[in-house]
Structure 1
Amino acid sequence: MVTDNLSHNTSNTSSFLGVYCDDTAVLKQAQQLSQQLSQQSFLPPEQPLLSKAPSQLDSGSFVLMVGVQGVGLQATGKKAPGPIRVDFAQGASAHRRQFGGGKGQMIAKAIGVKGAYRPHIVDLTAGLGQDGFVLATLGCEMTLVERSPIVHTLLEDGLRRAGLSADPELHDILQRMTLQHLQGGDYLRQLEQPADVIYFDPMFPERTSKAEVNKSMKAFHSLVGSDDDAGEILSLALTKAQYRVVVKRPRKAPAIHVQYPDLHLPAPNVVFEGKSTRFDVYTFKKMP
């Protein structure tokens, strides 16, 4: 299920060039997407579709490529890696769904997935949807909130294509995932009833690395932008959750600073730590 409630975003648009269509069968979809991004001020008004393929453009930028395989974020240049797409029916998501460890996964423990109870979770930073999909696979109702028009487009398309699958179990999982295009803080401010659990995975500037395999995702992070308002959003989230707030962090990163000192939980009271990732958990009361 998808709802589109637009708001401003803090993404860096300078490296995004526009929309390219590589198949006339989806030309109308590409034109609609380009128009939508123009309406959101992410592209100049009435910008036409790009006439050159991404490989024919100078390196260092991105385009949204629309084809029969779906919508992908494609880096420009002859040596650029393939497009970034969201795929819940195959690949890493399907493998994790089958062999990921179920309720024994660290994220499930951090969220509090145990017994028969399944909380409704608000994921404030949905990204490409991997964590949200895992939790929906475990039976949780997910509200996926994403601020970036580009990432929202990729995630929306991934959900649409997954819905075309003949797998009834996958369809059940998708019914537990609702996508919203909003700033995380804006979503929380309009929330009338506390969420069972709020999940927050803020994006921060990537560390410098020379590894070629990281170049595509590093540029992607640069395009999307970092969550400079993480402290403000976490402070607000702590007032909007019924049972707990879970923050995903790099293992060695400091806890996010809570801006309001009068909150009764200025620091996480439970921590789950893995090899590269840590979950800081702020608990309020026991789940049913």
Structure 2
Amino acid sequence: MPELPEVEVTRRSFAQRIAGAQILSAALGKPLRWPLGLLPQALVGRQVLAVRRRGKYLLLDLSEGLLLIHLGMSGSLRFVASDEPALGAAGPHDHFDLQTTRGLLRLHDPRRFGAVIYVPSETDGLARKLLDHLGMEPLEDGFTLQAFKEGLAASRAPIKQLLLSGSVVVGVGNIYASEVLFISRIHPATPARDIGARKVRALYEAIRAVLALAVEQGGTTLRDFSSANGMEGHFQLQAKVYGREGLPCTHCASPIRLMKQGQRSTYYCARCQKLQ
């Protein structure tokens, strides 16, 4: 599933290229997770002002209203500028085309868990339902150590589950959760409120560092992720535990273990990450 780094990489790969474009046409393929919320042709004539991100949602600010785009489990966006070779007709897994004066933005989503939703503003009820519960943005100044401490102290949930929930901090998806917990030497099943101050700080710093590195590396491409300009990510080459079951720990040489938490795969080192 595309996580915060992949969504941010996607945003950066087309935000400046589409900003200022006027929408010429919009077309839907097969139904996505939620309905668009208006007839596609109603978008014609509106201008794309900017592209922002909140958690794993991309927000396309329009001259009237905005589009919320979620990539779901397997979705990706592709943007081809007007002066580049055309993408061609939409295929069976292409479910949203936005043709603009600066190029074509297309959502490709084989599993159709993604969404493109129109809302009049961020204060709209649906927008608030999707965005208001999201935690702090880990790469922004609002993500403070004190607020992070308080969020962990208020939860009895296993720390990995809490990170995946996005209620305290957004974007620490399955791959990155395993990585930051290894770096901070915290067992994934440790209740969040039981983590000591020193390790909370280590985890806080690891989240910022790992997600920043993942963005720098273009995200993680395990199967089919690519940015809006078709580039694959390379963070998977930096992974210390994720996907390395049975291989030696980079710190102590013990074999990396795999366990399931909430039907998600968790990779960890039993020697470096002892359950207190």
Instruction: Give the structure with the larger helix fraction.
Output: 1
TM-score under structure 2 normalisation?
A: 0.30
